[in-house]
Structure 1
């Protein structure tokens, strides 16, 4: 049985890279805000800082993933 060749694109265009980074940032920031909102509502008496921290952490993770 022949093996399938794995194609790894090592030359992506800059537009594709930017699109992947932006979509990753949107997904992760949405998840961070959602987790921060749930934490704020149920655990810390409706403060705003868990939402900001969740957003900041998510943006940091997406920035590190883009590099």
Structure 2
């Protein structure tokens, strides 16, 4: 039962990581666009959000795959119902 709880905690932490990194990328992109391009442009903000989303995705994928590959394969067998 604790393994399921650990997986749920890692999975929910991924959603928090997606939100934080995407919003941070959007904010940094909008600040860089307004400082260096002398006006509000949308493309730096979209690039920043995309980079944040991609970093969060890769981090979550590595975290979950590392956890799942470290588990014992015998515990993951689905038993047939009679």
For the residues of structure 2 that align with 1:48 and 1:39, how far apart are their CA atoms?
11
Residue 22 of structure 2 aligns to a residue in which SS? helix
Q: Which 4+ runs in 1 deviate beyond 3 A?
A: none
**When the two structures are superposed, what TM-score results if normalisation uses the length of structure 2?**
0.62
Aligned residues: 56
* 2:15 is equivalent to residue 22 of structure 1: yes
Point out where structure 1 has 5 or more consecutive residues left out of the alignment: 1-10
TM-score (norm. length: structure 1): 0.75
Query: Which runs of 5 or more residues in structure 2 are unaligned?
Result: 62-82
Higher helix share: 2
Q: Residues 30 and 41 of structure 2 are in contact (CA less than 8 Å); yes or no, is this contact kept in structure 1?
A: no
Picking from 46, 56, 64, the partner of 1:62 is 56
- Match of residue 41, structure 1, among 2, 22, 34: 34
RMSD between aligned residues: 1.1
Q: Which structure has the greater CA radius of gyration?
A: 2
